[in-house]
Structure 1
């Protein structure tokens, strides 16, 4: 089943940013929302995580409706925001224990997975560090560990590679693919199309709050008259269209 967004319209404080968008993130698939700044990517994410109320349309995950049963819906998701959010007074280890407790997961049962993730992101020796000692990239890694350790049916990541080094980017891609193989769904936003073509099953292109295209990297390349290796030029073609409209 997975995530099903149907005829969604919404925005902020009366501003209608999303205009009747519909798309799916099936079980076991990785879907990337892409578009220029202001296209509606983060607005879509904020609707899916329940931060914004739809003006119209529905959002369901495995047949659980976000508006009708928000608690049951949110239990199925793990979310990584674009900017890391950490508590200054909690150590890395305390953050992770708190998250496990919030999801009613058994610490002993899940801590072995946590340790593997900490090692994968080279954080295993920093469990007693406070956030004030972390670089931006390290804070992002903490958020990644906290989300991947939950193994939720839907993982949502807003710009997953922001501030990460090359090894960490590879680790994130590996973990997303592993989650997909387990049947979980992944929805992400990214500007790094070249990297995304390596692992994304489908792109959803947003343009002025509307869906302009939905399809695989190869289909997007063909529709844009580009090679998959040069797909990052897609944003340039959109910008040129915007300039022409002006």
Structure 2
């Protein structure tokens, strides 16, 4: 059973102007679906539609029975000025109603993994962009949801941070979680994603596995980048 099925006729922000149209995708347990497109293509709008943050939507976003919850990790960190890193984690645990013992073990493990244990009592608003991104990842992974919706996780992360992220997201997938990953890092996406949704100007250019996208772009040995550029050029 799919974790989520998305069928959007039109969606946007206000008035009659549609930002995205005719968008359909699904995510199953263990999937990592790469949402690929240029700036302004509608990736973030699709994510907002899935997470219920879009005011205007004609269509359906249906979560399957096996999807108990989801975590949304935005591109721009959202942090409280007066809370330390540990207090952010405690607040999230209270909202998610995570058992205290489970929370402490999980939080400490994530802080060690992302190498932030030494600053857990500091204010994240004073951290670097990369460290703030790690805080958002820790908050997302704290819940251990069925579905992760992640917007541009690689921005600001150093190579070690990327390695740590890829390790834990692979672990989550092996436990049955699905992932929707919006990214401009096509080389990385090609290596880690099970399928792709390529979009431009608010609609889907094509979707499928790398093999299927190579077939559709008529580039049997092409990289994801090459296939995307060719499909993009053909759509103009």
Using the size of structure 2 for normalisation, the TM-score is 0.91
Change over 3 Å in CA distance of 1:63–1:8 after alignment to 2:
farther
CA-CA distance at 1:186 after TM superposition:
0.8
Partner of 2:23: 21
Q: What SS class does the counterpart of residue 19 from structure 1 fall into?
A: strand
Partner of 1:173: 166
**How far apart, in 2, do the equivalents of 1:80 and 1:40 lie?**
17
Partner of 2:128: 135
Q: What SS class does the counterpart of residue 36 from structure 1 fall into?
A: coil
Matched, 1:189 2:202: no
Matched, 1:162 2:162: no
Partner of 1:89: 82
Using the size of structure 1 for normalisation, the TM-score is 0.88
Number of residue pairs the alignment of both structures matches: 234
CA-CA distance at 1:227 after TM superposition:
6.4
Runs of 5+ in structure 2 lacking a partner? none
Change over 3 Å in CA distance of 1:173–1:56 after alignment to 2:
same
Runs of 5+ in structure 1 lacking a partner? 65-72
CA-CA distance at 1:241 after TM superposition:
4.6
- Mean CA deviation greater in 209-218 or 182-191: 209-218
Matched, 1:206 2:185: no
**How far apart, in 2, do the equivalents of 1:132 and 1:63 lie?**
37
Alignment root-mean-square deviation, CA: 2.0
Partner of 1:108: 101
- Mean CA deviation greater in 110-119 or 39-48: 110-119
